[in-house]
Amino acid sequence: MRVAEVIGRVTLSQVHPSLRGATWLVAVPLTAAGVRGDVSGRGEPFIVFDEWGAGEGSLIAVSEGAEAAAPFAPNPKPVDAYNAAILDRVDVGDAPSQT
């Protein structure tokens, strides 16, 4: 699971019936540095399936791959990235020193 920041939404003219009732978000994955606000800690944007209503600027927890479709079992949906949670706060402690 990764932490990502929502930077936009995708507008679809058509959608598969199994995907109705949700939105698609454009999100940027964040490293610990990115969570702290360092621009170098931001990855390449990707698209995330969202049923929770995350908005632009929200921090979200994203599951990917086979785990992204797991919440929909036994009727999997064709998604590769799923917004598993909207995060209220993320605390990033200092990493232990490597001595």
What's the CATH code of the domain at 18? 2.40.50.220
Q: What is the domain count for the chain?
A: 1
Asked if residue 97 belongs to a domain, the reply is: no
Query: Model-level pTM?
Result: 0.83
Q: How many residues does the chain have?
A: 99
Side-chain half-sphere exposure of 76, counting CA atoms within 13 A: 10
Asked if residue 23 belongs to a domain, the reply is: yes
- Residue 99 CA to residue 13 CA, distance in Å, equals 55
Bond before 74 cis per omega within 30 degrees: yes
Please give the residue range of the domain that contains residue 44: 2-87
More confident residue, 57 or 65: 57
Q: What is the pLDDT of residue 29?
A: 96
Q: For the chain, what is the mean pLDDT? A: 88
Mean pLDDT value of segment 19-46: 92
Asked if residue 61 belongs to a domain, the reply is: yes
Contact 60, 83 (CB under 8 A): yes
Mean pLDDT value of segment 44-67: 93
Asked if residue 75 belongs to a domain, the reply is: yes
Asked if residue 99 belongs to a domain, the reply is: no
